[in-house]
């Protein structure tokens, strides 16, 4: 991709280029298996543990791909991002590695650990009220004042391609086992991860079926797939899945997802809580609620997977300690 293709849809070739760009910086995270989970679902399930990624979520992939692609003349003013926490940390960490200043616009109700870690990574944190302020407008104003580059959380070709490297690794690692995925389930907020993963998976395993997973009440992808147009959520807050409350699917991401994914699953907060507890007990992994939605969909039987090879992404592990204690106690 070049500067002239900033709004063009990325391709599987762009995911390959992103994999080369982030190699040796982002971690190649493992596929985790569990005999208990296989027995419960009747499938061979492989969980992509992005909880173990740098900064604790998949977001570092796209952030580093985007920032490292900026030409030297565009780096002086730094970057501005808006995020509930995981993209914030990914951008802050990438900016620090590339020696660029970063400002992150975060909701005041974002989990405290996410705010603290973003600041600890060297970024300037600007808080806003999620229910009544426009984070994008705040970010634009800051970017104009400082001559900074805005780094969107999902609706950007470089971000999408970077996130897609997780899907590329899924196909590669299953291939080493002599397997190909029949089903891939990806947590969705703005749709950047699902779009990138879909590009990579469909290139390497064309027969695979992809699904988004979302919290109930914030299942805008599932509703958008059914209506054929981008639907919005009625509420801005109201789920323990703080990472998955984008108002509507992204413009670029939906163009990809409507073609390559096309079907969504939704789970309740109670089902998510059970998935967080299951991951802790059986997998020995700390998974935040928003990162556990695909696992929740499997455990709750939202999809018939018996006899299939299934990959599901555990997208993040940055959970508030008090909430985590309540969910697993």
**Percent residues over pLDDT 70 in the chain:** 98
Q: Once rounded to an integer, what is the mean pLDDT over residues 184-192?
A: 98
> How far is the C-alpha of 27 from the C-alpha of 12, rounded, in Å?
20
93-107, 125-139, 221-235, 280-294: the lowest-pLDDT one: 125-139
Q: Which domains does the chain have, with CATH numbers?
A: 3-57+157-328 (3.40.50.1100), 60-151 (3.40.50.1100)
pLDDT band at 1 (very low <50, low <70, confident <90, very high): low
| Structural tokens at position 21 | 């760009």
Residue 109 is predicted with a pLDDT of 86
Identify which of 127, 193, 186, 118 has the alpha carbon closest to the alpha carbon of residue 159: 193
Residue 7 is predicted with a pLDDT of 76
* Whether residue 4 has pLDDT greater than 60: no
> How far is the C-alpha of 172 from the C-alpha of 166, rounded, in Å?
10
Q: For the chain, give the mean pLDDT.
A: 95
Q: Once rounded to an integer, what is the mean pLDDT over residues 208-224?
A: 98
pLDDT band at 194 (very low <50, low <70, confident <90, very high): very high
């Amino acid at each position: 991709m070049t500067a002239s293709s900033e709004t063009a849809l990325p391709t599987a070739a762009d995911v390959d280029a992103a994999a080369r760009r982030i190699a040796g910086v982002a971690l190649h995270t493992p596929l985790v298996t569990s005999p208990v989970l296989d027995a419960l679902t009747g499938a061979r399930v492989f969980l992509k543990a992005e909880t173990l990624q740098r900064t604790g979520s998949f977001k570092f992939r796209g952030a580093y791909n985007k920032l490292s692609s900026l030409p030297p003349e565009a780096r002086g003013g730094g970057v501005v991002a808006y995020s509930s926490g995981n993209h914030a940390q990914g951008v802050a960490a990438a900016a620090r590695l590339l020696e660029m200043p970063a400002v992150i616009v975060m909701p005041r109700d974002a989990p405290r650990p996410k705010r603290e870690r973003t600041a600890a990574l060297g970024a300037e944190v600007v808080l806003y009220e999620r229910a009544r302020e426009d984070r994008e407008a705040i970010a634009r104003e800051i970017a104009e004042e400082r001559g900074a580059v805005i780094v969107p959380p999902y609706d950007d070709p470089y971000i999408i391609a970077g996130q897609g490297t997780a899907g590329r690794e899924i196909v590669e690692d299953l291939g080493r086992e002599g397997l190909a995925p029949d089903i891939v389930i990806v947590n969705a907020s703005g749709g950047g991860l699902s779009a990138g993963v879909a590009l990579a998976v469909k290139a390497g395993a064309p027969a695979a079926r992809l699904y988004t997973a979302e919290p109930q009440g914030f299942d805008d992808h599932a509703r958008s797939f059914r209506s054929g147009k981008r639907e919005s959520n009625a509420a801005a807050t109201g789920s323990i899945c703080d990472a998955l409350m984008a108002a509507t699917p992204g413009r670029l991401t939906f163009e990809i997802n409507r073609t390559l994914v096309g079907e969504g699953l939704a789970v309740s907060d109670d089902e998510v809580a059970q998935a967080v507890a299951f991951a802790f007990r059986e997998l020995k992994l700390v998974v935040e609620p928003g990162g556990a939605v695909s696992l929740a969909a499997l455990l709750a039987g939202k999809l018939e997977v018996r006899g299939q090879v299934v990959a599901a992404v555990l997208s993040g592990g940055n959970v508030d300690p008090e909430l985590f204690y309540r969910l697993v106690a």
